[in-house]
Structures are given as structure tokens and as C-alpha cells.
Amino acid sequence: MNNRTLSVLLVTGIAAAGLTLSACHKKQPSPGQQMEQGAKQMGQGAEHAASEAGQTVTDSAITSKIKAQLAADQGLAGFDIHVETDHGVVTLSGTVGNESESANAARIATSTDGVKGVTNNIKVSPGS
């Protein structure tokens, strides 16, 4: 488990404990009901943490696929194009020699499975 997943689990546990304590000011459920509510909240927190961890893996996989495709493309292989992915949204940055190369990099990113959107911040500098 990475630090982000552990942080999400910790925050979820604290939130569940807080919700359980806030219930003390209301009509008290039975101990069995309290345990059931706590277990349900922890389960929801675990599902959320697993989803976040899965998203990190998916984002990393998307980034890797795009970098490999850019490196394999004859027209883009010589350029240093940076790729970042956050929740399926890819941001491209770097410098290429012309607008066609920038558009080609964006096309590659857009056509990659799992990509929800592309922000093309690639700068065009003739002679690069």
C-alpha cells in the first residue's frame, strides 16, 4: 500500500470514529447497531481507498502507454515531451518543432485507452 492509500484509510477511520462519537448526542443505538454502522462506514472507506489506489495505477499505466507511443513515433522520438495523468486527464508539456508535431502528440494521447481528456501545453519552437 502506498502512502496515499494509507492516508485515505486513516482519514476514513477518523471520520468513521467521529461519526460514531457524534451519534452519542442522539438517541443511543444498541452496541450491535453501533458496530454495524461502524463496519459499514469502514467498508465504504476501504472501497474509496481501493478506488483511489486503482486510479493511481490506472493513471500511471496511461502515462506509460503515452510515453511509449511518443517514443515510438518517428516524428516525435527526438523531443522531450512530458506526460502527466490525473484521474484520466492527460497534460502534455515540452517543446516541439512545429504545430503538426504538437497536434500529433495530442492525437496519440487522446487515442490512448482510459484517457478522459487532454490538455496540450506543448510549446512550438521552430528549429527545436
Domain ranges of the chain: 3-124
Report, as ranges of residue numbers, the positions in the chain whose pLDDT lies below 70: 1-29, 31-57, 128
- In this predicted structure, what is the pLDDT of residue 120? 98
C-alpha cell belonging to residue 95:
517543446
- pLDDT tens profile 16-37: 555 555 555 556 667 666 666 6
Hey, what long-range contacts does 101-104 have (CB within 8 A, 24 or more apart)?
A: 101/75, 101/76, 104/73, 104/75, 104/76
